Amino acid sequence: MRHFLSIKDFTKNELLEMINLAQKIKAETKTKNFVPYLEKQTLGMIFEKSSTRTRVSFETGIYQLGGIGLFLSSNDIQLGRGEPMKDTARVISRMVDMVMIRTFAHSNIEEFAKYSKVPVINGLTDSYHPVQLMTDYLTMLECGVEKPIVAYVGDGNNNMTHSWLMLASKLGFELRVATPKGYECNQEIINQALIFAKESGAIITFGHEPKVAVEGANVVTTDTWVSMGQEDEKEERIKAFDGYIVDGSLISLAQKDAIFLHCLPAYRGLEVSEEIFEKHADEIFLEAENRLHAQKGIMVWLDQHRDDTTTEGK
């Protein structure tokens, strides 16, 4: 059995298999051909943080695959009153067929997976947001970006950036990360990505100059400067990120037909200007829709690998 906790746990081939499944199921869905790949299966969805896209896409996705989603807010289940993660895992995984969790520390989801009898999917932790990055890759392909040169401008030490590092280093494309000083990526995750990059041929660079990162890129992306759980740091973060807005003058340095991606929710006037957000709205909302399709690929792949005995990803 495999869990989907981070992109780092999968080979390039496995990640591409999931993307292929997503493309196939998306095409079927678009012709109203709802193949029941996960008939009568239940997906438990545990949320310790807020969500719009993750909740709606997983709940709709499992339903369209022939199953049902159970929305479990931590405020409403005993987890929120202190029942241990490992007990929650041992109970819920005896009743459902797959679990998706959105939580704080990445160790929480690792603990859950350790005790779970069914595959566990990371719906965002403080360290990683892998389902979003699989979605972003699907979106880049649909936008015709075959050889990505991605510029990420903003907070380095967050779930999006870390997942970009994993995606680029596993699939072998170019990623340039520009962050303010003091907001660089986690060093252990950088080290891990650089090891993968050696094998895949990915080019990954880090710096503090948004212009250097964006020059010649064909994908520009960013994320909120204040992630969930960092609300107390809001004022100091907004000061520290001054100069890191993705606006018209910055993006003009990218390739002419460069796309702009944002996982959403977006804060206009902070990490992205209103003008650039609206100019690239087609790509951004295609990306949002693709959560539904990419996650179907991941769920079906995990279901097909329930008897997998490989140690990778465990």
**Rounded Cα gap, residues 61 and 301, in angstroms:** 14
CB of 49 to ligand CP, least distance (A): 7
Beta-strand ranges (E) seen in 179-254 are: 203-207, 219-222
Q: Has 304 been annotated as catalytic?
A: no
Distances (CA, A) of 313 to 6, 209, 270, 310: 8, 35, 36, 8
Q: What's the min distance (Å) between Cβ of 158 and ligand NVA? A: 5
Among 6, 42, 51, 273, which residue interacts with ligand CP (rule: CB under 6 A)? Answer: 51
SS3 (DSSP) at 94: coil
Residue 221 in the binding site for ligand NVA (CB under 6 A): no
Within positions 241 to 270, which residues make up the interface with ligand NVA, using CB under 6 A?
A: 263
Q: Which stretch binds ligand NVA (CB under 6 A): 77-85, 152-160, 187-195, 251-259?
A: 152-160
Residues 248-267 that bind ligand CP (CB under 6 A): 263-264
Under the binding rule (CB under 6 A), the answer on residue 42 touching ligand NVA is no
* 223 assigned to active site: yes
Q: Which residue in 7, 18, 21, 124 binds ligand CP (CB under 6 A)?
A: 124
Is 97 annotated as catalytic?
Answer: no
| Upper half-sphere CA count for residue 22 (Cβ side, 13 Å) | 27
Residue 293 bears catalytic tag: no
**160 touches, from ligand CP, ligand NVA, none (C-beta below 5 to 8 Å by class):** ligand NVA
Q: Determine if 134 is a binding residue for ligand CP (CB under 6 A).
A: no
Give 174's strand partners.
149, 203
Nearest of 171, 180, 109 to residue 137 by alpha carbon: 171
Stretch that binds ligand CP, among 52-60, 83-91, 194-202, 271-279 (CB under 6 A): 52-60
HEC readout, 253-286: CCCCCCEEEECCCCCECCCECHHHHHHCHHHHHH
Residue 19 interacting with ligand NVA (CB under 6 A): no
Q: Which of 159, 163, 169, 290 is in the footprint of ligand NVA by CB under 6 A?
A: 159
Which one-letter DSSP state was computed for residue 185? P
Based on the residue annotation, tell me whether 185 is a catalytic residue of this protein.
Answer: no
Provide the sign of the torsion angle of the four alpha carbons 206, 210, 216, 217, taken in this order. positive
Nearer to ligand NVA, 46 or 300 (CB): 46
Cβ-based neighbour number of residue 140 at 10 Å: 23
The count of other CB atoms within 10 Å of the CB of residue 90 is: 14
Q: Which residues are catalytic?
A: 102, 129, 132, 223, 263, 291
Interface residues toward ligand NVA, by CB under 6 A? 124, 129, 158-160, 223-224, 227-228, 263
